[in-house]
């Protein structure tokens, strides 16, 4: 983003600057070595236990990604604590450099949706945000400053969501929030918190090789977890190496892990998937100065195969190319938004016209959303079957109506938010139900059934697909769905 765009606070500055901003003080002294927002975070949190939750995971000259991973949280007690920690850092630094800060609409909505009991800090945020109001910036947070202007352009939550059942019922969630930051001035790299954390470095140095750290079994494998790829990045870089990945998003070409995070997060920004990595990924650590620290990880489903060193010949047999994938390093924010608006307006216009001719389908979807029960209706040779698809991460309820005429079926999809109007989402395209989705649904049925038995429903996310199970407690029947972007792709009933 151009500098003048960041500084155009102009006449609204007096009304939208934070009422409590003058009292915001940095948590660490602003020494000469703090020359950027990243420097401030490293100074404040780098050598603390925060490194196990809060991290700078990807860097480019004008962009940064911060990850905050929340672990074992009970949904009923979900709060805004982690969001406030990131905002605290941004506000403190912005005030310290004499900048002007504005809350974005996304931050206001996020804070309002996450009530936090007995927190003076939370009440302070609520009051400041209420005083400022919506409509001044559509992102998350903006700091206008000639010294080091920056903005948290957006936050993506529920990344790599994991659910664990608790004894006695219920479940806990582990998930990440990714914050995408754009800097006005180019930033130095190498600001990963783990690189300055003495405790983490000491832990890593205990293991002569990554194989020792992963406790690889006799078969050369260990269980896949999202966190284990994060550890690969940390172990590799602490020992002076660089981690690379090849998978579908990189077209199986060599891509640095930092570039990959930017590419994948940009995709997830407008995508309902919560997964950073795929079902099949290849990772390897290159370290010319210390080859004993090199390793290769082959991720395939629920397992990871470990190979010592860079298994170049093996990777080539898997069609991995060591040609570097091309990645844009300049944020195209000003170009992408008009394109997205134009595209959305065309789609919405088409859907509105189509919806006007779907009186029966919309009426059935409205009934299904209200009753939360599936229903069936026949009109001559036409057959209509509805499916209540539950609540998605946006808090809206979803339903679908399958219209069948002479064995030809069309799925129409609808949603309703906050008991408002029922909105038509469009038809499910034939090409959307891939063979991969069919295979994954078949394999997920067994996995979901156990949770379904306990809670009458269960959900899992794999790449861009959402898999759901609903159990009818009265008839003990099951319904399994696969969805993408709110649209029903397939349904199985047992």
Q: Which of 103, 211, 475, 45 is nearest to 494 (CA)?
A: 475
Buried residues in 360-397 as b, exposed as e (16+ CB within 10 A): ebbebbbbbbeeeebeeeeeeeeebbbbbbbebeeeeb
The predicted structure's pLDDT at residue 361: 87
Half-sphere exposure of 484 (CA within 13 A, CB side): 20
Order of all β-strands in the sheet with 303-308: 221-223, 303-308, 295-300, 280-286, 242-246, 253-256, 321-324
**Residue 437 bridge partners (DSSP):** none
The region of weakest confidence among 27-31, 54-58, 348-352, 478-482 is: 348-352
The predicted structure's pLDDT at residue 399: 94
> CA 196, 197, 199 angle in degrees (round to 5)?
150
pLDDT digits (tens, 9 = 90+) for 296-321: 999 999 999 999 999 999 999 999 99
Determine how many CB atoms are found less than 10 A away from the CB of residue 33: 8
The mean pLDDT of the chain is 84
- Band of the pLDDT at 345, cuts 50, 70, 90? very low
Q: Yes or no: say if 160 and 274 are a contact pair by the CB < 8 Å rule.
A: yes
The predicted structure's pLDDT at residue 427: 86
The predicted structure's pLDDT at residue 118: 66
Q: Yes or no: say if 411 and 433 are a contact pair by the CB < 8 Å rule.
A: no
Stretch 29-48: mean pLDDT = 93
User: Is pLDDT at 259 greater than 70 in this prediction?
Assistant: yes
pLDDT digits (tens, 9 = 90+) for 139-180: 999 999 989 999 999 999 999 999 888 877 788 999 999 999
- Sequence-separated (6 or more) residues with CB below 8 Å from residue 206: none
- CA dist., res. 326 & res. 323, Å (int): 9
Distances (CA, A) of 431 to 275, 435, 489: 21, 10, 10
User: How would you class 58 by CB atoms within 10 Å of its CB: exposed for 0-12, middle for 13-18, buried for 19 or more?
Assistant: buried
pLDDT digits (tens, 9 = 90+) for 78-125: 889 999 999 999 999 999 999 999 999 999 999 988 877 667 888 889
Q: Got the DSSP string for 291-341? A: GGG-EEEEEETTEEEEEES--HHHHHHTT-EEEEPP---S--HHHHHHHHH
Determine how many CB atoms are found less than 10 A away from the CB of residue 185: 15
pLDDT digits (tens, 9 = 90+) for 170-206: 889 999 999 999 999 999 999 999 999 999 999 999 9
- Band of the pLDDT at 277, cuts 50, 70, 90? very high
The separation between the first and the last C-alpha atoms of the chain, rounded to the nearest angstrom, is 53
Order of all β-strands in the sheet with 465-472: 457-462, 465-472, 477-484, 487-493
User: Is pLDDT at 330 greater than 50 in this prediction?
Assistant: no
- Band of the pLDDT at 473, cuts 50, 70, 90? low
The predicted structure's pLDDT at residue 295: 98
Order of all β-strands in the sheet with 376-379: 376-379, 382-391, 397-405, 408-416, 422-427
Q: Please state the pTM of the whole predicted model.
A: 0.65
The predicted structure's pLDDT at residue 42: 95
Q: Which is more confident, 450 or 279?
A: 279
The predicted structure's pLDDT at residue 400: 94
Helix (H, G, I), strand (E, B) or coil at 24: coil
pLDDT digits (tens, 9 = 90+) for 377-386: 877 777 889 9
Helix (H, G, I), strand (E, B) or coil at 106: helix
Of these ranges, 112-121, 272-281, 329-338, the one predicted with the greatest mean pLDDT is 272-281
Q: Got the DSSP string for 147-193? A: TT-EEEEEEEEEEEEEEEEPTTS-EEEEEEEEEEEEESS---S---G
User: Is pLDDT at 335 greater than 50 in this prediction?
Assistant: no
Q: Which of 352, 362, 356 is nearest to 414 (CA)?
A: 362
- Band of the pLDDT at 338, cuts 50, 70, 90? very low
Residue tagged 């946006």 (tokens): 394
The predicted structure's pLDDT at residue 454: 80
- Band of the pLDDT at 62, cuts 50, 70, 90? very high
- CA dist., res. 268 & res. 463, Å (int): 10
- Band of the pLDDT at 8, cuts 50, 70, 90? very low
DSSP H helices, 318-476, are 333-356, 359-371, 435-455
- CA dist., res. 325 & res. 323, Å (int): 6
The predicted structure's pLDDT at residue 262: 95
Q: Which is more confident, 187 or 472?
A: 187
């Amino acid at each position: 983003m151009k500098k003048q765009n960041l500084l155009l606070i102009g006449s609204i500055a007096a009304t939208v600057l934070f009422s409590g901003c003058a009292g915001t003080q940095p948590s660490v002294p602003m020494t000469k070595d703090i020359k950027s927002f990243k420097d401030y975070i490293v100074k404040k949190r780098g050598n603390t236990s925060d490194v196990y939750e809060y991290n700078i995971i990807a860097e480019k000259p004008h962009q940064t990604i911060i990850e905050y991973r929340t672990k074992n949280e009970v949904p009923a007690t979900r709060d805004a604590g982690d969001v406030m920690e990131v905002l605290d850092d941004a506000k403190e630094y912005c005030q310290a450099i004499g900048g002007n800060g504005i809350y974005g609409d996304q931050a206001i909505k996020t804070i309002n949706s996450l009530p936090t009991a007995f927190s003076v800090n939370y009440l302070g945020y609520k009051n400041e945000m209420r005083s400022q109001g919506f409509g001044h910036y559509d992102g998350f947070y903006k700091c206008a400053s000639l010294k080091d202007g920056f903005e948290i352009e957006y936050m993506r939550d529920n990344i790599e969501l994991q659910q664990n059942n608790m004894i006695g019922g219920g479940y806990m969630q582990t998930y990440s929030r990714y914050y995408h930051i754009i800097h006005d001035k180019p930033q130095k790299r190498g600001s990963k918190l783990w690189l300055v954390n003495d405790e983490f470095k000491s832990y890593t140095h205990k293991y002569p090789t990554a194989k020792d750290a992963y406790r690889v079994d006799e078969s050369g494998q260990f269980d896949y977890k999202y966190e284990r790829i994060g550890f690969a990045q940390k172990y590799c870089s602490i020992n002076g190496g660089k981690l690379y990945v090849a998978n579908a998003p990189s077209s199986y070409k060599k891509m640095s892990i930092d570039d990959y995070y930017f590419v994948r997060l940009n995709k997830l920004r407008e995508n309902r998937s919560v997964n950073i990595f795929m079902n099949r990924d290849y990772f390897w650590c290159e370290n010319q100065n210390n080859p004993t620290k090199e390793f290769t990880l082959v991720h395939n489903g629920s397992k990871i195969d470990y190979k010592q060193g860079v298994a170049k010949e093996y990777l080539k047999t898997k069609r991995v190319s060591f040609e570097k994938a091309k990645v844009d390093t300049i944020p195209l924010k000003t170009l992408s938004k008009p394109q997205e608006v134009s595209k959305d307006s065309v789609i919405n216009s088409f859907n509105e016209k189509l919806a006007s001719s779907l009186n029966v389908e919309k009426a059935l979807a409205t009934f299904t959303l209200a009753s939360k029960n599936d229903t069936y209706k026949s009109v001559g040779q036409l057959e209509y079957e509805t499916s209540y698809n539950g609540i998605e991460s946006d808090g809206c309820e979803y339903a679908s109506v399958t219209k069948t005429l002479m064995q030809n079926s069309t799925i129409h999809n609808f949603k309703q938010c906050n008991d408002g109007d029922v909105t038509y989402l469009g038809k499910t395209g034939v090409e959307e139900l891939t063979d991969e989705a069919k295979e994954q649904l078949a394999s997920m049925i067994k996995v979901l059934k156990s949770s379904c038995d306990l809670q009458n429903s269960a959900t899992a996310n794999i790449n861009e697909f959402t898999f759901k199970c609903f159990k009818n407690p009265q008839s003990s029947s099951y319904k399994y769905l696969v969805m993408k972007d709110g649209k029903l792709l397939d349904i199985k009933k047992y």
